[in-house]
Structure 1
Amino acid sequence: MIDRRALLSRSSLLLAGSAVPGAAIAQARTPAARTLPPFYADIEERTFRWFWETARRDNGLVPDRYPSPSFCSIAAVGFALTAYPIGVERGWITRAEARDLTLTTLRFFWETPQGPEPEGKIGHAGFFYHFIDMISGARFRDVELSSVDTTLFLMGALFAGQYYDREDAREREIRDLAHKLYARADWNFFRSDGRKAVSMGWHPGRGLIERNWDGYNEGMFVYILGMGAPEHPLPVDSWEAWTAPYERFWRGEGPMRHLAFAPLFPLHYSHIWIDFRGIRDAAMRNAGFDYFENNRRATLSNQAYCIANPMGWDGYGAQSWGLAACDGPGNFRLDYKGERREFFGYSARGPIDEPDGRDDGTITPSASLGSLPFAPEIVIPTAQALRREHGDLLYGKYGFHDAFNPSFRWIDKPVERGRVDPAKGWYGTDYIGIDQGPILLQAANYRSDFVWQRMRSCTPIRKGLKAAGFTGGWLS
């Protein structure tokens, strides 16, 4: 039996600085001088190269994963559209190269047919299917029309509209297409059966998915973009539907009290494009801190859970942590240290005492490195340790492979993906776009507010935040 109160106490001690050596610095806010050690630049460039080198030049589509053969993830495209300008500013590609691929991408999403038919369409009602064919852009198999993945794509498109600001015909067209793609989305389509919250998706012939985006998870920016829309906005009370379940998401006490969601990566997504420092809605005004501080506490809590390691997995520790959605060895029930344990393939993971918690010993570097702006003092040493301890088993041509599991050492089991080292455990061999994105983009935010700075002047973001009741800070 897991003693949840003991885990929360451990988390509180970590923040206070009395649980493990060196943890006292976790109490400090993000430092003003935001520099990164030289080794981090290699992580950033390799991760950028994943987007730049896997994108098709004829339509801009980016695979869900690589090197395994894959369909396109529209969310990965959104990350890519934001990644290209980082490559420009760092001198890895030219502005003209980034501009031209961005324009190709936006033209393709604007021109490829939409409609309610179950096959042959890229989307419907201004939204796009979660996965699409890498060549035609048609819906892949029976995946859903996705509200959140379309939001990720639109965030990338809107960022492109902010970045390409020159009076050049191609850059003007990028701005125009970004606006038209965003304006076309009918956000109320996902409430068309009378519900107040936004549905996670829709299937032709079956209708809206029953589950909504609400509580605290990756759906946060769905509402902000939806409420800021110029033509089909969500109603003004939509934010109340999002925050209504908050009470069951609170975890921790005192300096560790925070809105929790077990897989850490969803806490990154909205925060990649929206700077939540110093702005608060009604819920955060009542809590006494902002969502950025909330995610700092969630990051520290994720690390604290791995240090406490209540399930006794191998390889967890202060510099080996990060539970989120990622690849895994596969679906198995095996004997581990005298107990029957369950392992999973691609799945969401996180502390078992938090909403949607699941822990099978699998760690993803995206969870820790994507948290860089929130807690650099624990993330930077973790990034360095992961490279040092795992070498080319984990770190390759495009940076960190998606995940690893030091407890899974069964070389006789047919793993779903990846490879098993008999001494060090299972390692993924793919890179996944939605896990690569936070590593690169959050490093850019940490260095210079790169994405945040441009999106603070994005009219839909400002409008959506104000409609949701946010005040203070840069929004004022």
Structure 2
Amino acid sequence: MKNIIFLLTILSLITCEQPQKLVFKSDGKINYTLTPNEVLMFDSIQYKTFQFFLNESHPEWGIVKDRTKNWAPASIASTGFGIPSFAIGVERKWISREQAAQITLNMLDFFMNSAQSADTNATGYKGFYYHFLRMDSGTREWNCELSTIDTGILMMGIIFARNYYDLDNEVEKQIRLLAGKLLDRIEWDFVIMPDKGQFANTISMGWTPEEGMHDWGWVGYNEALLLYILAAGSNMKNTEKSYNAWLKSYKWNTPYKGLSHVAFPPLFGHQFSQAFIDCRGLADKYMFEKGIDYF
């Protein structure tokens, strides 16, 4: 009897110490059936979007233009979004898997072998890449910044490629190899803001060889959620300190009764991270305390 009482006492203490499991209301399911016309509309939008990434990509390097204008440079963010679009084309049978894999490999090979230096005419530096690249040379355009968020979007696309192209052939094995190398060579500590000031310990928005590090860091909530998740899964030191700095500026808003959420008006700030990360049921300390996930 004493043993049973002792066991029950221990179990009760363990139960008290365990955090309560949060039951999220959202499960990603919407009780709505698309009409035939709506299906046609979404199919058309998806196909035309795929065509943009295919038609506006460099024929040799795979980098994707920022827009359809003849003068437009490539955007590394557009390129990052282009990588999964080619895979969607495979799944929808708009392009063969071999074609999509080759475009992706060409792209990764370009980034792996392009100029990485502090020179004003390079493609990137310390594993990061310039926001805009010339379509004729693949080098920096418009004296633009070495962009952390756009590099982040590019790397999320590259992670997707590493996971999607999983066949045992030379092209897809090379995709996985280059993806790992590109992710590993990012020097996250280079872009961490100093340990003081408004943006202390956050990830800087960018750097230029002319002026150095930007004065502003990424604070939440916005599209940079993917950037902190990416950095945490890579080789960034003091990840928790940087993430807590990001969380400090969150703003909680209740525009309508019963519809409270983290405030960030532009829709893309919510979409960009969730284009790559399944946020259903995911919550950090801040969101857990609010009883809501990131979905």
1:244 to 245, 248, 252: 248
Partner-residue secondary structure (3-state), 1:136: coil
Partner-residue secondary structure (3-state), 1:197: coil
**5 Å matches for 1:72-83?**
72-83=74-85
Percent identical pairs in the alignment equals 37
How many Å separate the matches in 2 of 1:166 and 1:155? 20
TM (normalized to structure 1)?
0.53
Deviations for 1:161-207, whole angstroms, at most 9, x for unmatched residues?
A: 10000000110000011111111111111116443111100111311
- Could you tell me how far 1:252 is from its partner in structure 2? 2.5
How many Å separate the matches in 2 of 1:254 and 1:204? 49
Given the superposition, is the C-alpha separation of residues 68 and 214 from structure 1 closer, same or farther in structure 2, using an over 3 Å criterion? Answer: same
Given the superposition, is the C-alpha separation of residues 171 and 28 from structure 1 closer, same or farther in structure 2, using an over 3 Å criterion? Answer: closer
**Which consecutive aligned stretches of 4+ in structure 1 deviate over 6 angstroms post-superposition?**
none
The reply to whether residue 198 of structure 1 matches residue 198 of structure 2 is no
Partner-residue secondary structure (3-state), 1:255: coil
Residue of structure 1 in register with 2:53 after alignment:
51
Residue of structure 1 in register with 2:284 after alignment:
281
- Could you tell me how far 1:54 is from its partner in structure 2? 1.2
Conserved? CA contact 1:215–1:249, under 8 Å: no
The reply to whether residue 86 of structure 1 matches residue 85 of structure 2 is no
Conserved? CA contact 1:276–1:291, under 8 Å: yes
Deviations for 1:301-359, whole angstroms, at most 9, x for unmatched residues?
A: xxxxxxxxxxxxxxxxxxxxxxxxxxxxxxxxxxxxxxxxxxxxxxxxxxxxxxxxxxx
Conserved? CA contact 2:193–2:201, under 8 Å: no
How many Å separate the matches in 1 of 2:113 and 2:33? 41
How many Å separate the matches in 2 of 1:267 and 1:156? 17
Conserved? CA contact 2:63–2:79, under 8 Å: yes
The reply to whether residue 224 of structure 1 matches residue 229 of structure 2 is yes
The reply to whether residue 71 of structure 1 matches residue 78 of structure 2 is no
Aligned residues: 263
Between the two structures, name the one with larger relative contact order (CA 8 Å, sep ≥ 6): 1
Conserved? CA contact 2:282–2:293, under 8 Å: yes
Given the superposition, is the C-alpha separation of residues 255 and 89 from structure 1 closer, same or farther in structure 2, using an over 3 Å criterion? Answer: same
How many Å separate the matches in 2 of 1:129 and 1:91? 33
Partner-residue secondary structure (3-state), 1:38: helix
Conserved? CA contact 2:193–2:204, under 8 Å: no
- Report the residue type matching 2:246 in the other structure: W
Larger CA Rg, structure 1 vs 2:
2
Residue of structure 2 in register with 1:151 after alignment:
152
**5 Å matches for 1:284-295?**
284-292=287-295
Residue of structure 1 in register with 2:118 after alignment:
116
Deviations for 1:233-280, whole angstroms, at most 9, x for unmatched residues?
A: 55332210110111x453435322111112211110001101111121
The reply to whether residue 208 of structure 1 matches residue 205 of structure 2 is no
Structure 2: which 5+ runs fail to align? 1-25
TM (normalized to structure 2)?
0.84
How many Å separate the matches in 2 of 1:31 and 1:99? 33
- Report the residue type matching 1:242 in the other structure: W
**5 Å matches for 1:418-429?**
none
Given the superposition, is the C-alpha separation of residues 32 and 176 from structure 1 closer, same or farther in structure 2, using an over 3 Å criterion? Answer: farther
How many Å separate the matches in 1 of 2:164 and 2:128? 23
How many Å separate the matches in 1 of 2:248 and 2:221? 10
How many Å separate the matches in 2 of 1:184 and 1:28? 36
Given the superposition, is the C-alpha separation of residues 34 and 152 from structure 1 closer, same or farther in structure 2, using an over 3 Å criterion? Answer: farther
